[in-house]
Amino acid sequence: MKKVIFKGVGTALITPMRDDGSINYPVFKELIEMQIRGDADALIIAGTTGEGSTLTDKEHIELVEYAVRCVNKRIPVIAGAGSNNTSHAVYLSKECEHVGADALLHVTPYYNKASQQGLFLHFSECAKASQLPVILYNVPSRTGVNIFPATYKRLSEIDNIVAAKEASGNFSQMAKIASLCKDNLAIYSGNDDQITSALALGAKGVISVLSNILPRETHDICESYFQGNSEESDNLQLKYLELIEALFLDVNPIPVKQAMREMGYNVGHCRLPLCDMDSTMAEKMSAVLYRYGLLKNRERPGSVTIHRPGYAGAIPTRNL
C-alpha cells in the first residue's frame, strides 16, 4: 500500500495578482495562513486554479518556494508541474523538488492529444525526474484527452505515482480505476459538486476550488464522511451546491477570483487570456454570495445561514 499524501481537502490555491499583473506575495501569504487556520489538509500551488500556465518558469518556481517557506511543513505543499512538453514537465518537477515541494501534480498534456501509450511514457518520464510522489491530473474538458482505466493501472505500478485527481466527471470510469488500481492509487475528486459521490467510491478527498472561500466547510464534507456520518456529509454537499455552481459560471479561476474580490480579498484579476466575467454572470455570482451571507455587511433578507470562518475579511483590501 502506497503512502497517502493527504486525506480531506487540498485547496487548489489561487495566485493573487497586483494591478500590474505581478504576483502579490503578501496577499498570497495571507491566503496560505487563512487556509491553514481553516483546516485545509493540503495546498496545491501553481495548478490550474493558480494560473500555472501563465506563469514564467521563474515565477512558477519562486511561487512554490515561497509557499513551502510559509507553510513550513504544517501541511503538504503540492506543486503543479504539468506541461504539454515532457522535457519542460521534467524540468519543473526537478525544480519544484529542489525548492522543497512535498508532491507534484501532473496534468495530462494539453493540445497534443497524446495516445494512451504517449500518456504512459510522458508520466513515466515525469515520475523518474524526481523522488517526490506524483498525483496524476485527468481533466478531459480542459486538455482534450482522457486517461483510460487500463492506463491508470499501468501507471499505478510505478512506485512514486501514488494518486489521481479525477475530474472527468465519469463515475463509471472512477469505479473502474478504483477496482483496477486498489491501494496502488489514491483517488481525489477533481469536482466540488461530486465530493461525496467520489468518497463513496473510496476517494481520499477532493482537490478543491470551493475551499479557496470555505476551507473548513469543504474539509468538513470529507471529515464527516470519514467519521462515518455520510448523511451529514451529503447534507453539506447539497448545502453548498449553488455556491459551487456559481464558482463555475465561467472558466476557472475567473469566478473564484471574482467572488473573493467581492468578499474583500485583494486577489486581483486573472492574467490574459482569461478575463473578467461579463456583467450578467457577475450579478449572478453576487446574488449567490448574498444568499450565503458571504458579503460582509451586505446581507439580504432570506439569505442562507452558514458558518462564517473567523478569518473572513482578514486580508487587507489595500495594495501591498
The count of other CB atoms within 10 Å of the CB of residue 278 is 10
Task: Transcribe the chain into DSSP letters.
Answer: -PPPS-SEEEEE----B-TTS-B-HHHHHHHHHHHHHTT-SEEEESSTTTTGGGS-HHHHHHHHHHHHHHHTTSS-EEEE---SSHHHHHHHHHHHHHTT-SEEEEEPPTTT---HHHHHHHHHHHHHT-SS-EEEEE-HHHHS----HHHHHHHHTSTTEEEEEE-S--HHHHHHHHHHHGGGSEEEES-GGGHHHHHHTT--EEEESGGGT-HHHHHHHHHHHHTT-HHHHHHHHHHTHHHHHHTTSSSTTHHHHHHHHHTT-----PPTT--PPPHHHHHHHHHHHHHTT-STT---TTPPP-PPPTTTT-S-SS--
Q: What does the chain come to in residues?
A: 320
Give the residue numbers annotated as catalytic, written as ranges.
Answer: 137, 165
